[in-house]
Amino acid sequence: MWGYRETAGHEAGTDLTGFKVEATDGVIGKVDKHSDDAGSAHIVVDTGVWIFGRHVLLPAGTIRSIDLAERKIHVARTKDEIKDSPEFDKDRHAGDLGYHQQIASYYGTHRA
């Protein structure tokens, strides 16, 4: 869940900040932050007005593909699955194993 799929097209060291993020059924926002850390790779997406400025944490395993030329990331989840995800907690995500387990459990039950 916390690592990129081999087929995603991720290149280590690539700055994904600002990339557009698309769910299986439409655009959800732009990458605000990302991490390539082993065992906790993820992106944080600013959803803008779509869900009232909420930020969501998406584990790297939810990423289906990265288009470097188009600066676009496709995730293997629907907009509703992302909208209903646990609230992003910027204070807990940086080392709280329980929080990461909660996120992984949610996205693990919503496989695409």
**What's the pLDDT tens digit per position in 36-76?**
988 889 999 999 876 677 899 999 999 999 999 999 999 99
Tell which CATH architecture fits domain 6-109: Roll (2.30)
Supply the pLDDT for residue 110.
61
Residue where the block lists tokens 């909660």: 102
Q: What is the mean pLDDT of residues 97-103?
A: 88
- State the pTM of this model: 0.90
Q: What 3-state class would DSSP assign to 74?
A: strand
Supply the pLDDT for residue 59.
95
Handedness of CA 82, 55, 30, 9 (dihedral sign): negative
Six-digit token string for 34: 């990302």
User: Which distant-in-sequence residues (6+ apart) come within 8 Å of 67 by Cβ?
Assistant: 9, 73, 74
The C-alpha atoms of residue 30 and residue 93 are separated, in whole angstroms, by 19
The C-alpha atoms of residue 47 and residue 20 are separated, in whole angstroms, by 10
Six-digit token string for 49: 């007005």
Six-digit token string for 80: 């509703």
